[in-house]
Amino acid sequence: MDNKRAFICLNLVPGIGPIKVNRLIEIFGSASAIFEKSIKELKGVEGIGPKLAEEICKGPQNHNPDDELRMAERAGVTILSRECSEYPGFLKEIADPPLVLYVRGNVSSLNNPYKSIAMVGSRRPSHYGVKMAESLSVSAVTAGWTTISGLAIGIDTATHRSTVDAGGTTIAVLGSGLGRLYPQENLELARKICEKGAVISEFPMTFPPDRRSFPMRNRIISGMSCGTIVVEAGLNSGTLITANQANDQGRNVFAVPGRANEPGSRGCHSLIRDGAKLIENFADVLEEYNNLTLFDAAKFNIIDVAKGKKEVPDTLPALTLSETEQKIVEFLSLGEATVDNMVDELEIAVGKAFATLIEMETKKLVKPLPGRRYTLLK
């Protein structure tokens, strides 16, 4: 049995998870080598008792990985083991990365870690919560980011749908197998997600959703992202599990504030008190990831760089500007201007103008002002 099939088989064996598999691989060298060991050898490993050792030994007999591969292929699903090059690199960094990922859709969409943001929240959001999720998602799309959520009713659905409607890429992580998609009312949305993004799960094809599987899938949502946004959550919300897992994984946690007297705001306010960054828009998220060593406008003359001059300190890499960015920099060098001014004078589309300006914000080239006005950072 090759390693990919061994990972699939291990994922089908009940009672064993990524942490125990990690331990077995450390001792025996590979996933496939695990199935070459006797019950006596297996139960000698810490955390592997006699019952589980027997389950592992009978794994290939009771859980044929080729049957699972055939079922996935018929459903248009790709199975990635940890050793596959397409397996998300960011996810490998967490303590308990899934043994395999079942992927329906665009596999390449899984590897955009430095521009992927998780967005989670209440299953019963307020009108305000939905509108904030929609606004943040559309802004993320405009900035070229991928959104990641769990396809649940509420904030998850608002995130996925608004991302798709804006022409962006989103990834839905399920708490069930892809052959048992839950919730069923989001089946059509899942199909749309797969056109550019993907619907994924660590669970076997026909695995039903249960209370244990949803907390497990949350670590994947946070683990594939460089940060997690909590839009709306009560104090006892399962959403806080995702935020805690993001913290444990060393990822940023952002929280959207709400009304002080609303129960659905208390989880976010608690996160903010504990150190999560309060955000009001996606620009607040982008600010957290600005690389000041590359894009500190105070250290060199941006306008000269835009015009092709090489007056950049040797300790800093040259800043490369697109043609549209160069036009905007030269236009704003004459003074602050509105987006409408730029669209009219530079003859660029409104959508492209906004997308370029958000990208320029991340580079510390421009600063937004009230009234949709922008100015150069000098």
DSSP string, 30-66: SHHHHTTS-HHHHHTSTT--HHHHHHHHTHHHHS-HH
Rounded to the nearest integer, the mean pLDDT of the chain is 88
Q: Are 184 and 151 in contact (CB under 8 A)?
A: no
Q: Does CATH number 1.10.10.10 belong to domain 292-376? A: yes
- For residue 299, pLDDT over 50 is answered with no
Query: Which 8-state DSSP code applies to residue 298?
Result: G
Q: How many Cβ atoms from other residues are within 10 Å of residue 285's Cβ?
A: 22
Q: Are 133 and 164 in contact (CB under 8 A)?
A: no
- For residue 169, pLDDT over 80 is answered with yes
Tokens encoding 34: 């695990």
- For residue 240, pLDDT over 50 is answered with yes
- For residue 237, pLDDT over 80 is answered with yes
Tens-digit pLDDT profile for residues 311-343: 333 433 445 788 888 899 989 988 899 888 898
Closest CA to 12 of 199, 202, 185: 202
Residue 98: predicted pLDDT: 97
Residue 69: predicted pLDDT: 97
Query: What is d(CA 38, CA 36) in angstroms, rounded to the nearest whole number?
Result: 7
Task: Give the DSSP H/E element, type plus range, for residue 368.
Answer: strand 366-369
Instruction: Note the CATH architecture for domain 104-288.
Output: 3-Layer(aba) Sandwich (3.40)
Q: 291 vs 77, which has greater pLDDT?
A: 77
- For residue 204, pLDDT over 70 is answered with yes
Query: What is d(CA 199, CA 217) in angstroms, rounded to the nearest whole number?
Result: 12
- For residue 293, pLDDT over 50 is answered with no
Residue 377: which pLDDT band, with cuts at 50, 70 and 90?
A: confident
- For residue 296, pLDDT over 90 is answered with no
Tokens encoding 287: 């600010």
Ranges of each domain in the chain: 1-71, 104-288, 292-376
Tens-digit pLDDT profile for residues 73-127: 999 999 999 999 999 998 998 999 999 999 999 999 999 888 999 999 999 999 9
Can you tell me whether residue 255 is helix, strand or coil?
strand
Q: Does CATH number 1.10.150.20 belong to domain 1-71? A: yes
Residue 294: predicted pLDDT: 33
Tell me the chain's radius of gyration from C-alpha atoms: 24
pTM above 0.75, yes or no: yes
